[in-house]
Structures are given as structure tokens and as C-alpha cells.
Structure 1
């Protein structure tokens, strides 16, 4: 869980010195991309940037970094969430990629963030305060990439104590960089005068102003310390042994010096109750009245905080309501030094209370970060045992794995519960290869516990059930359906005798089994139970997965309205219970895929593309194989519906390849992309390719009846296209009977339609019209629409001539209009959704000039981009890496490109493009 208070810009003090000369340097403007404000602590960096933001129009994302943000994944989670907290939308794919902890997934997440900023088009400002805490070399490399590809108009401001190792010389040459260093930040004499007279309300002489300004060199923290002490006694000119005419040494900018000064000249001069409050609350990186009241066992903390604020005692408000605050870091360090030295036992007890408050208020990740920092391993083990399961099911499986790795190895090895967390963490991270040895270790530990007569028999039974449940999913990945079913049923039988909340995950497994057998009614009932228990157990990931698969099944049964309601209700529940905008938004592949299919089938292709968009980045980076196939399948179906057959072929071939290579990592049988791929080749006039695809599937094991039906219907379409209607009808008659019995209504409509076309070829017109009438009637009731436009031109002619279509109501009118003009709405090509950040939108637009329009069909912007990269000598693999897409997608674009240019090779494509003026070099 991320801290939302880190996204709050410090409130501006109206009495603070207004530094117009520096604010003008920070202003956004072309071609600048980065402000770099660098100085030691106490130079007024944050105050300056906050003042500038307060007077700046446009959206502002603010993030205050701390020592826990030196991890690349956590850093980019906070950066993306800062934008989201400030109102930026379209970051679902970014957050999803951030759930995987690899360089590739983080690169995809950064690319998704850049694309979201480009799509939004607003003049965003991002402020990263205390950037010195982001010291990781990987963060610096990734941040350099982020700046390099920022859209025009977006400005980043870094506030740091040290100059970060970024490619600053290159950015200076490009005029992207504005730097403000200590010499510029130092207060001028006029600013010093205003600070003492107006901000601090002190009447000091002009001579003293000049002396303090000269000796501090404009360092505002030292001036504030001096003002708070009530005199300038900390400076050497007041030492009687010092010659007043001799040059005076400036105050040393040293954190130890500042800490000593805070303790001696500020803290020791405060009233006892103020000192006690400061010391008692110094263990908290961020403060609120409730937290402080808990630490101090009082109810006056809000009053105390507001008093400190009025006294300028280094308390920084984090909002405009005086609810959340933080101490200046150096001031807090000095306080901690004092209490740990004078009363270490109390310091530790206060820290424990602070962590307990965080745990009790749902800030589990923040609490764990504090525990890890103190290396309190027994407490970390206890917290993980209590909260680890919910964290994993809330999408935080990778952090849990990292925390388990931080524990002493023997502590994990001797705990079956912690080892089980490691199993679930790896399971959710799709690291299935080495789970079996871990499961065996857990069973050995449980056997020893029973042998030793351990009292926690109920807990042991619950852990054994978890082991069996994981094994059931591993069995599904091996297509061992019987073992999977037996294990799951055993878990369900034992589950009421355990205290571990497993019902939702267990019912989801049974639902997968029912779905795999083609028992859609049974799967629907089971998945409803999974959703219910997921809500009771507060497992959002299981609710989303179960609800998404439920909607997918309802769609295939012909209950599209019900499927849409299921998606809406599930998403609403998750958002209500997990609405913290700082958290990554949980995405369900099944749910988003179901929504894509529903809106595609309703012929609302743009809406379908919008629901597909959050899933697209997972195809390239980070998606587990089963999800990868589902996404590519619905992506290919959308392209097929939009008559983008070459794109569809690329996506579906990729899905088929992943399915063959990674079958052992998939815990269910994915949709049959082969059936849709064959239809693409038929639509392209390549029946030979369609036959090759379908015949290659015959040797493969297909257990899911839905997939068998899809392939059979596609094979029947092929036979009709080849003029063999009798053979097609033999297949279709059996299919019609099976789909009716199993309530596979979508397939039933398709089988009726194709059989109608086969009957028409045999001149059995009455039977043909009967079949078409049945298909139209069922489709009208279910709301199916787009599938009619996807059938052959001959079948569409038969439908338009059908009396059933002509005499119906509004749905029938929509069907007629769509068949007469099947491309009235086109899904916006994924060129905009997957645009590579290294090409600015305005640059891409300028390429599509009059010379492009000389072609019968103009090149798309993505095809133009591919052409430019071919011209630059890039291989297909390099093009895929540059554009951030899958190699199969590049192949599809190249095929489309060759078709439009009328060429067959790269060299011919380049020559033709130059002839048309598309390429000029």
C-alpha cells in the first residue's frame, strides 16, 4: 500500500519570501523538459518549488521521496500513482506492468506512462522532492529514458541535495535543462531582510541582517535556526574573543552541525511539554493527530501540531487542512538522536506504537517498511503471517516475496505458514517451475508438527488444504484434469474445518474445471460462489478473476446483458473496497476480455478497443502465458471484425505460438485461436492456409468442448468455401445438437448460419430459410450482432433477402444497416494505443502527406513508422523493440505494408516508397 500523503504538495505560507527571480526560471517552455534544483538541506528548495506550483496553471503531480523509494519498482509505482492522484487517466497498463519486477516490465510501465501523458495532451508538471533518495543506478537509467521520450509540454522538476548521475550534458546541449544550484538559491540581502522582518516577525537591525546574510551565505535554514533561537548567538561575531573587524567564517553547511544546533539552540529553549511532544513523535515520518494521540495517550495532538506550525518549528503541512504533517528531515534526525540517547527504551516503545497504528489503520506496507528498516525479523514474520495472504491476493505478491527473502533463512524454513506464503507469491508471479519441492517441504513440516503433537491441528489442516489447492492448479497446467478435480473436491470437503479463507480460490478452481469440460451452467453457478466468497474473504484478485470468467461464460451462453452486469458489479465492488488511488489498479484479464468481446459483438468497436487497451502492454511484457493468449485472441477477434485481417493473423499466430511453447505454465485451456485464424485466411482468400491451420490442430489434444466446437464450425466454413456443402452439413448437424444440449448459444447461432449457407448451395432453399430464421431469432434474443457481418458475403446476401430480417424490430433494423454498411464504425487502430514514445505524434502526422494518398489504400501511421525503421536498417526484432510491440505484430504490419505498396520484399518496398515520395532519403 502506498502513502497518499506523499502526493500532497506542501502548503504555501503567505508570509514566506516570494522569490520571483527563481520562479521565472522554473516556468515551463519549449524545448525545456527538466528543472533541476540542487542544494544541501535547508536552502529552501521545496519551498521555492511549492510557491512556483501554487502560481502555475495546469495539472501538477507531486511526489515526496524518502529512503524507502530506492527500489525501481517502488519508485515507478509512486511516480505513476502521483500522476493518477493528480488526475491523469489511462494508467491501467502501467500499473499492471509494475506488478512484475523485471527490467523489461518496468520499461513497459515507463513507456505506458509516457504514452498516457501523450494521449492526455495536458501541460503536466511532475515534481520529485528529495530525489537524492533515488540513488539506485537502475532508477537513473530508467529516468533518463523517461526524460528522453517525454511528450512536448510536460515538465519535470527534480529537487535534490546532490546532482543525480543523469545525462545532463546531453540535455544541456538540447536546451532541455534549467538548473538552479546553491549559488542561485542563496538568499540575497533583500530576501534576508524580508525573511527576518516579515516571515519571522523579528525587528533586527540592518547591520545584523547584513552580518547574518554574509556569514550564512544566504542559507535559509541557518537563518531560521538563528531566528528561532531568539538571537544570533550562534555566530562568531558575538564571541568577545573575536575581533569585530576581522573577516567572519560562514556557518558550516554540515548535517552534524545542524543537528547539534537544533538540539542546543532550538529544542533546549522550548517549553517542557513542547519538547516532550517533539521527542515522542519523532519516530513518525509523517504525522496526524490520531497517530500522535495514540503515541502519547492523549487527545490534544491537533492543538499541539497547530502550535508547532505557528512557531515555525520545522513542521511542514502536507495538505491545506492541517491534517497531515512531517518534520523537516534534519530536525527529525536531531530529535531521534536525542531520544535514542536519553531514553532508548521509550524510543523503541514509541516506534512500536507507531508501527501498530499503521497496521491497525490499513497501512500495512508502510508498517512493514518500518519493521524492515529496524530489522525486527520476528515481528516481520508475525505481520506477514497475519497479512501476507491478503497482500498477495491484493496484487502485492512481489513485495511479499522480497520481505520473505529479507527474513533469516532458518526462520522461513521452520515455518510452514511462511513457506506457504512463498508458494502463493511465486504462484501469482507465474513462477510455477519450482513449486513442487516447496510444497513437499511444507508437507514435511506439517508431518513433524503432527508427530510432535503440536496443538494447532486446525492450522495444519488449513495449510494442507492450501498445498492441495496449489497442486490442483499445477495439475491443470499439465492437462491432468482428473487430478485437478480430485484435489479441488478434497479441499472443498475439508474447507469448513479450517480457519484459512480458501473458499473463493477453491470455487474458482472448480469453475475452471467446469469451464474446461464445457459445462457452462455448472461453471456459472460455481463462479458465482467464488465471487461471493471472494467478497467475504476480501480477496479482490479472486473476485476479479472469477467474475471475469463468469462474464466470459455468460457471453458465450448468449446472456450478454447479464455478462455486462456481472462485469459492472464486480468492478464496482473492487473499486469501493480498494479505492486508494495510490495503489495500482487491479486488472482482470478475463473481465477486460469479456467486455471487449461484448462491445465488439454489439458492433461498438471503439468501446471494445477502449476495454482492450489496458491489456495491450501485457502482451509485450509481463503477462503470464494464459493471459497472453486470451488478450491476443480478443485482440485478433477485434481486428477481424474491423476487417484488419493481416493484423488479426499476426496476433492470433502469436497466441498459437505461445500456447504451444508454454502450455505447462497455463492452468486452463485458452480460447481456440486456430479457429479464428483459419477464418482470417478464408477472408483473405487463402483456403489452403485455412486448411493447414485446422488440420494441424487435429493432432493436438483439445479437452474444452467450446474449443472443439469453434474449430469444427471453422472447418465447416472451409468446406462450404470449397464447395463441399454435404460434408459441412454432416459436421454441423452434430454440432447443432451438441450446442443446444450444452447451452453454447453463440456457437449454436454460428452453426445455424453456416448450415444455412450449405443448404443454399444444395438449393434446399426452404431449409436454408428455416435455419437462418432460427439463427436470427436466437441472436436477436441474446443481442448478438457483429457475428453476422463476419460471415461470408454470400451468407450476408441470404440474410438480407430473408423475410425474417426484413420484418423484425429495432435489432433487425440494426442488423440490416450493419450488413448494408458493415464498417460504419471502426475500432481505432491500436497504433495510437501502442505508439512508441520515441516518435512524437505531430511528427508522425506530418509523414502522412499527399504522396501517401496516391495509394489505393493509404498507409496507417504505424505502417509509416515501420517503413521508416526499415529504411534505417532495423531488423524485425529491432523494430519490435523500438516500437514496444510483439515481433508478430511487426510481421503483420509489414505484410500489410507490402500489400498496400504492391511489393514482396524490403528493397522493393523502399524503392516504391521513394517513388511515391513517402520516403525522401
Structure 2
């Protein structure tokens, strides 16, 4: 049961100051996706947003958060409930998924909500008030995903006491964020007058109000502090003998120092000056800087007295000074205690470095331009930063070093090589490696004190060269170099085992030795966890899951993905940083959830990968992403989209083969299935003739290719040839335990047997295949077979027996059969049913829209939701979904808005 009062927007107080200049900032504008209103309590955040909501033309959804909402499932239930409360239709499936999916699968219903908003097409403003209650890192990452993929007409407004742990820097670069911070919330002179006279009902003269406004620059916190200073403003305005303030010249920082700092007790004043060097504050850090143990007490005192201390969480653990206040304190400290200030700053940086805040510590060193210290810190922490996904910042920091420091340090040069490697700039590595090897040879020859370290760097060079050899298809050199690193690694002090075993796993995967690849990748994950290398753990675990899935171990593959993701999130948990993504891991999850007939959840893992395709990525990753993208589109009946993605994947695999570290998936085999599904037998036959001479080193790709050849042979009326193609595959797939392919082989084999009239033998083969599918949990695999096999599966006693898997597969097959029937059987047109105009472009489509699809299109044009379309047409909602899926595929679109636009281009709609 949801509290509907949390969906109610607060009524604006008619006496409150109307802030037109700020309301204008909150309006939708260009690419903006997020209004971020951040200020301490009492700054008027909720009042401002509520005023803006009362005037905006978009649909407003309001959600007031509290401390109980910091739990992912509860949070998203309230988000969905808030949209439903305000009239957004089509969220029933999201609500159902939220009730039963695991916490790791919440991106599915989140994607569903995004899709419903995109299909709705209306402008929505979603306000999350008191967002500072949301602290859970997993939930922050989900909110990041939600905002990243929102349609353009939806805008989020967050009102919070603290800046949220979201990737704001990245969004600000994209101009997605409108920041309304305390400085903007400061009152203008006119607003000060309204505040004191109208809102507060205070009888102050305009001159007094003007003085306060100018003195504090309209900053509410500064007004509060002026009251702390003993009411000097009132005394001055009354001519009480106190010193007058030059309001025309003074800046707020001067005011803080003279009117606040000097009036504090000595312990508070010293604390402020001693800790001004800290970019953020916590009791432990302040104690380390000051050499004391009472910092928590003083921090709480500052917070109670509103001394420009801004909380960064709701537990009163982390704080920061307001920037203007901190600048003023630093200026005073450097003026009167320069040596102490430098000592305190060094202690602060050391504390950050030793307590896991390495990036923040390095940023302080860079700002201070202490290049020798930066070189030492990068030498110590750079490797872990790179393998944690921060190779680009490391490159930037290395570039800031003076040239002589960089060129005199082999370790820093090696660090640069690794950073460039992870940035996929491998074309510049050869000369750098040659330069580095020359430097190391000289150190060893000269008996340099760090000769042992030189030997360790030689192992790293060998490892890099092994990856470069793979990129040039020099498998023997790659394997030799990797094995050499394994032999030497225990004699060096550089932790390289995880990366080395990942290379070994790639080698074995490329050769087709999947069992050995699994063993090596499990070692890579284990050592990666010991070495705290999240990116290596994620990539190794992702490739491991990919192999496990493709061998048919779907549950084990999902367990691998879940366990690895949990470890990575635990050790790389700052939601403000970009989330580490592995192409292998996300691709494996896309395939797993597609196979389990959960396309929405599969799409949630595809969305982040598409950014890599659009922005450019390593060719091997490009092929994998487009392959899983095409397979998902094929499963959903969007055949044209599938063909485009798979043709692109096959083209890149062919053109960039020398730059791919492994044999890419057999994309053209899936492409052949698309040709068969769309009735293009000529193209399928041409494909079969082209691939007969293809050679594969990976048995999974060889099997996939041959299974598609057999499918084409059956479709062309050559079942005997198909059985001859499949017979050796049955033996090898069973021997190697490639159970997923074994099920496919048996299904296609049974189709060939039926075509030859061998019904009894075919029935036995089909029953075996379905039983294997049930044991492994395969679902979509059955629904993607030929119409004759799907029809025969519907009659199997096995599927009619009780059981969750049976009922889900049976329901899926029935839904598809109904959709096939309505798509293939022409419906007599009545006077009320729309028909394509005579001059329309329906016949220009590769697959013209059927009469029923034209009817659905017209009802979508009328703005009806799926359930209303189903009611109007007298069919089941699942049938409507099938029609929409089919017309999306024929129009090559992905949403209602795109479908309507494309239909108008083709003159299918008036």
C-alpha cells in the first residue's frame, strides 16, 4: 500500500516571495534533463519548486521522499505509483515486475517505465523532494541509468540538502543540468524587501533592509550569521554607537572574517583556520590535520551555529565549508600562519591517500603543483587506478608532469603505456615500448638500484606485447609471451596475475578450448579480487559468463554475472563516477534475459552498450554489441532492425579482423535466420553458398554457422542434406557439453525428419530437445524455431504438464501462434476499418503492413493505450503487443512517436 499523500504537491503560501527569476531557470530548455536545487534546510527549495509547478504547462508528478525510501524496490514502487497517480497509463507490467524481480534485475522495470514515457510522448516534469534521504549506492546508480535514458520531453527536478552522488560532472558537460545553488537562491534587494515586509511581517525600514541585503549579498545563511554577530545591523541602523560597515565595498568573505571569525571563541577560530585546507571534512580527517581527538564535537558545534558548514550526508559524518567561506579562511591562514597551513595541507592529503580517497588527494596535489609528490603517488597508486577504470584521469595527470620527471621514470612510462592501452590507443604503443625497453636495459647494465623493479616492468611489457600480438592475429607470439609472464610473475613484485590470466583465457577462447578458457578466467577473477582490479574482474567474469551461457549453463552464467557485479560495486561504489561496464558481461546478460523471455530487462543491459557503438569502440566489442542487439531484435520480431545490426556486425568483423583479439560471433549465421523469418529464401540461399568455405577456430561459432546452414537446407526443401549437415554436430556438441547448441541441433533435425515423413523418429527427437531445454531453462530458443516446430511443441504432453517453466513456454508459444495467425490471415475490411490510401507508400515497404496492423496504427494515432486498443479490436492485450512489435519492425522504428512520424512520411495516416 502506497501513501498517496507523498504524491501531493505542497500548496504554495500566498505570502511567500514570488521568485520569477528562479522559476525561469527551472523551465525546460534545449538538452536539459535535470534541475538540481541544492541548499541547506530553510533556503526555500520546496517553496520555489512548488511555485514553478503551479505555472508549468507540462504534466507534474511530485514525490516527497523520506528516510524509508532509501531502498531500491520501495523507491521505484513509489516512482511508478507517482506517475500512475498522475495519469500515466501502461505501467501495469512495471508494477508487476517490481513485486517479483530480484534487486539485481530492477533495471528491467526501470527500462519499462522509460519505454512507457517514450511511447506516451507527452511532456512530464518529475519532482523528487528531499532527495538527500537517498544514499544507497545501488539506488543512485539506478537513478543515473533512469536519467541517462529518459526521453527528451521528460525533465527531473531534485530538491536536496546535499549534492547527490550522481554523475553530475558528465551531465554538466552535456548541458543536461541546471544548478540552482545557495548563491542563486540568495534574495535580490526587492525580494529582501518582500521577505521582511510581506512574509515575515517585520517593521524594518527600506533603508535597513537594503543594508542587510547589500551586506549579506542576499545570502540567507549570511543573514543568519549577521544575527549571530550580536544584532549589529539593528544597532548600527539605530545609531547605537557601533562601527559602521562600508556596505559599498565589502565582500561577503571580508564580512565573514571580521563579523564572524573574530567573534568566535579561540578554539573554534583555530579549528576553522586549521581545517580550511581540507576540501571535505570529517572528524577523522580533522583530527589527523590538527593532531587532536575532539573534531567531531567542534564540527557539530559549527553545524548547530550555522557557520557556513554544509552537510554532505544525513549522518553528520562528512561536511564541507561553503566555497566563499573556505577561500576567506585560507587567505587568512596563509597570511598569518603560512608554515602551519602548508603542514596541515600535507597532512590532509596524506590522510586522503591512506584512507582510499586517492583521486581527491591527487587532485589536491595537482592544484598545489607539487610535481615530485604527484610522481611518487602515481607510481604507487596509478596501476590500481587504471585497472579500476580511471585510465583517462591517470593520462591527464601524467600529462601534467614536467617532461624530465616523466622521461626519467620507467615506472611512470609503463603507467602511461597501460593508460593508453586501456584507452584503446594501441597504435602509439610500439615506439613507447621500445623506448621503455632501452631505458630498462640501461638500468640493468648499470646495476641501477631498482634493477628488480626493471625486471618486473619487463614482465608488464611482455604482457602488453602479447595483447598487441593478438590484435595482429599473431596467436603463437601472444601465447608465448603470456606463458613467459606466467613463469616470471612470481619473481616480480608487480601484481599482474589477474590481467595475465585474462589474456590466457582470451587465448584459449580464441582457440576454441572452452574448458581451459573457463579455468583461466576463473583464476583471473580470483586474482583480480585479490589485487583489487575491478575492471579486470568485470571483463574476466563477463567473458566467463559468455562462455557458460553459450555452453548452455544459463543459471551458472547468471550467477557469475551477479557475483562479479556485486564485488565490483562493493569495491568501485562511488555513484558519481561512471559505472564500470564490461562488454562481455552486459552482452552475456542480454542473451540470458532474452533467452528467459524478459526482453525489457535485456534491453536495460543493451542501452549502455549502444553509447559505445555510437561513440566508437574497439572493433571486437562493436561486433559483439551489434550481434546481441540483432539477436534481441530478432527475438522480438523486429527483423529489419535485426538485419541492419547484424549486417553491420558482419561487415566490421570482416573488415577489422586483424584488429580483433578473438574470433567474433558468427553474426552472419543469425543474419541467415532473419532472411528465413522474413521469407527471403533467395538471400538465405546466397548466404549458404558464400559460407561453405568459412573456417572457424571456435567450435561455438562453427556449430552456430552449420546449424543455420541446416535451417536453410530445410527451408529450401532439402531435409536430407540438412540431416547430413547436423549429424556430426550432434556428436561434437554432446561430447563438448554445448547443450544450448545441442537443443537447437535436435530441434532442426526433428524439423528435417518431419519434412521427410519420419514422424515417429521426429517426435522422439523433438521430445528430447524440449526436455533438454526444460532442464537448462531455455525458453526463447523454442519460440524462435520454424512455425511447424512451434506448432508441434504446442501439442507436446510435456509442456501441458504442471510447472512454471511449462506454463511460461506454453503461454509464449500460444501468444506467438495467435500473432502469426492474425498477421497471416487476411481480415475482411469493414466500413469502419482503415485501409492504406491508394497513393500510400505501404507497398514500398519490404514487408507491407497488414490490415490489422494498419488498424492498430490508426488507434495508436488516436492516442489509445494498449489495453484500450485491445478492447476496441476485441483481442487480447498480448495480441496487440504482437501487432505493435510487427509494425515497429516493418517501419524500422522503436517507439510510438517514431512509428507515427514514419507512417505520415509513407502517407499511411491522414
Verify same fold: TM over 0.5. Answer: yes
Please state if 1:468 is matched with 2:468: no
**Equivalent of residue 181 in structure 2, options 145, 159, 177:** 159
Please state if 1:660 is matched with 2:663: no
- Alpha-carbon separation, structure 2, partners of 1:369 and 1:584: 18
Determine if contact 1:676/1:714 at 8 Å carries over to the other structure: yes
Determine if contact 1:263/1:335 at 8 Å carries over to the other structure: yes
Please state if 1:116 is matched with 2:150: yes
- Alpha-carbon separation, structure 1, partners of 2:600 and 2:247: 64
Pairwise CA distance, 1:855: 4.4
Determine if contact 1:606/1:825 at 8 Å carries over to the other structure: no
Please state if 1:21 is matched with 2:16: yes
Query: Kindly tell me: are residues 733 and 595 of structure 1, through their superposed partners in 2, closer, same or farther at Cα, counting changes over 3 Å?
Result: same
Q: Which residue of 2 aligns with 1:252?
A: 248
Q: Which residue of 2 aligns with 1:332?
A: 326
**Equivalent of residue 434 in structure 1, options 428, 437, 443:** 428
Higher RCO structure, 1 or 2 (CA under 8 Å, sep 6+): 1
Larger deviation: 697-706 or 301-310? 697-706
Q: Which residue of 1 aligns with 2:274?
A: 280
Query: Kindly tell me: are residues 482 and 84 of structure 1, through their superposed partners in 2, closer, same or farther at Cα, counting changes over 3 Å?
Result: farther
Q: Which residue of 2 aligns with 1:168?
A: none
SS in structure 2 at match of 1:677: helix
Q: Which residue of 2 aligns with 1:385?
A: 379
- Alpha-carbon separation, structure 2, partners of 1:723 and 1:193: 85
The count of aligned residue pairs is 758
Q: Which residue of 2 aligns with 1:735?
A: 729
**Equivalent of residue 369 in structure 2, options 356, 372, 375:** 375
Q: Which residue of 2 aligns with 1:873?
A: none
Query: Kindly tell me: are residues 594 and 212 of structure 1, through their superposed partners in 2, closer, same or farther at Cα, counting changes over 3 Å?
Result: closer
Q: Which residue of 2 aligns with 1:293?
A: 287
Please state if 1:691 is matched with 2:685: yes
TM-superposition CA deviations, 1:234-263 (whole Å, max 9, x none): 999899999x9xxx99612554xx444544
Query: Kindly tell me: are residues 180 and 527 of structure 1, through their superposed partners in 2, closer, same or farther at Cα, counting changes over 3 Å?
Result: same
SS in structure 1 at match of 2:426: coil
Query: Kindly tell me: are residues 130 and 161 of structure 1, through their superposed partners in 2, closer, same or farther at Cα, counting changes over 3 Å?
Result: farther
- Alpha-carbon separation, structure 1, partners of 2:171 and 2:791: 59
Q: Which residue of 1 aligns with 2:188?
A: 182
Please state if 1:575 is matched with 2:609: no
Structure 2: segments with no counterpart, 5+ residues: 1-12, 31-38, 52-61, 67-127, 821-847, 862-885, 895-899
**Equivalent of residue 459 in structure 1, options 441, 449, 453:** 453
Pairwise CA distance, 1:526: 1.6
Please state if 1:125 is matched with 2:121: no
Pairwise CA distance, 1:352: 0.6
Pairwise CA distance, 1:748: 2.1
Pairwise CA distance, 1:679: 0.7
Query: Kindly tell me: are residues 601 and 422 of structure 1, through their superposed partners in 2, closer, same or farther at Cα, counting changes over 3 Å?
Result: same
SS in structure 1 at match of 2:43: helix
Pairwise CA distance, 1:494: 1.2
Query: Kindly tell me: are residues 232 and 549 of structure 1, through their superposed partners in 2, closer, same or farther at Cα, counting changes over 3 Å?
Result: same
Q: Which residue of 2 aligns with 1:483?
A: 477
**Equivalent of residue 43 in structure 2, options 29, 45, 48:** 48
Pairwise CA distance, 1:382: 1.4
TM-superposition CA deviations, 1:423-478 (whole Å, max 9, x none): 22222222222122222222122112211212333322222222111222222222
TM-superposition CA deviations, 1:547-585 (whole Å, max 9, x none): 121122112222222222222222222223333333332
Q: How does 1:493-892 map to 2 (within 5 A)?
A: 493-697=487-691, 702-799=696-793, 811=805, 815-822=809-816, 855-858=851-854
Q: Which residue of 2 aligns with 1:399?
A: 393
SS in structure 2 at match of 1:124: strand
- Alpha-carbon separation, structure 1, partners of 2:888 and 2:193: 60
- Alpha-carbon separation, structure 2, partners of 1:863 and 1:647: 24
Structure 1: segments with no counterpart, 5+ residues: 1-17, 36-43, 62-78, 97-111, 148-155, 163-178, 198-204, 827-851, 866-891, 901-905
Pairwise CA distance, 1:810: 6.6
- Alpha-carbon separation, structure 2, partners of 1:507 and 1:583: 27
Q: CA RMSD in A?
A: 4.8
Determine if contact 1:128/1:159 at 8 Å carries over to the other structure: no
Determine if contact 1:281/1:295 at 8 Å carries over to the other structure: yes
Q: How does 1:204-219 map to 2 (within 5 A)?
A: 212-213=211-212, 216=215, 219=218
- Alpha-carbon separation, structure 2, partners of 1:710 and 1:467: 37
Pairwise CA distance, 1:690: 1.8
Determine if contact 1:129/1:158 at 8 Å carries over to the other structure: no
Q: What TM-score do you get using the length of structure 2 for normalisation?
A: 0.72
Query: Kindly tell me: are residues 262 and 775 of structure 1, through their superposed partners in 2, closer, same or farther at Cα, counting changes over 3 Å?
Result: closer
Larger deviation: 366-375 or 630-639? 630-639
- Alpha-carbon separation, structure 1, partners of 2:810 and 2:222: 79
Query: Kindly tell me: are residues 646 and 189 of structure 1, through their superposed partners in 2, closer, same or farther at Cα, counting changes over 3 Å?
Result: closer
TM-superposition CA deviations, 1:254-289 (whole Å, max 9, x none): 54xx44454445434444333322211111132222
Q: Which residue of 2 aligns with 1:38?
A: none
**Equivalent of residue 415 in structure 1, options 409, 414, 429:** 409
Determine if contact 1:595/1:608 at 8 Å carries over to the other structure: yes
Q: How does 1:43-122 map to 2 (within 5 A)?
A: 48-50=43-45, 52=47, 58=63, 113=147, 115-116=149-150
Query: Kindly tell me: are residues 312 and 519 of structure 1, through their superposed partners in 2, closer, same or farther at Cα, counting changes over 3 Å?
Result: closer
Pairwise CA distance, 1:140: 7.8
Query: Kindly tell me: are residues 217 and 280 of structure 1, through their superposed partners in 2, closer, same or farther at Cα, counting changes over 3 Å?
Result: closer
Determine if contact 1:58/1:123 at 8 Å carries over to the other structure: no
Pairwise CA distance, 1:375: 0.7
SS in structure 1 at match of 2:181: strand
SS in structure 2 at match of 1:58: strand
- Alpha-carbon separation, structure 2, partners of 1:687 and 1:207: 86
SS in structure 1 at match of 2:592: helix
- Alpha-carbon separation, structure 2, partners of 1:452 and 1:860: 80
Query: Kindly tell me: are residues 781 and 458 of structure 1, through their superposed partners in 2, closer, same or farther at Cα, counting changes over 3 Å?
Result: farther
TM-superposition CA deviations, 1:328-373 (whole Å, max 9, x none): 3333222212221223222111101111111122111111111111
SS in structure 2 at match of 1:667: coil
Query: Kindly tell me: are residues 183 and 626 of structure 1, through their superposed partners in 2, closer, same or farther at Cα, counting changes over 3 Å?
Result: farther
Query: Kindly tell me: are residues 438 and 188 of structure 1, through their superposed partners in 2, closer, same or farther at Cα, counting changes over 3 Å?
Result: same
- Alpha-carbon separation, structure 2, partners of 1:761 and 1:447: 70
Determine if contact 1:59/1:125 at 8 Å carries over to the other structure: no
- Alpha-carbon separation, structure 2, partners of 1:320 and 1:196: 33
SS in structure 2 at match of 1:326: strand
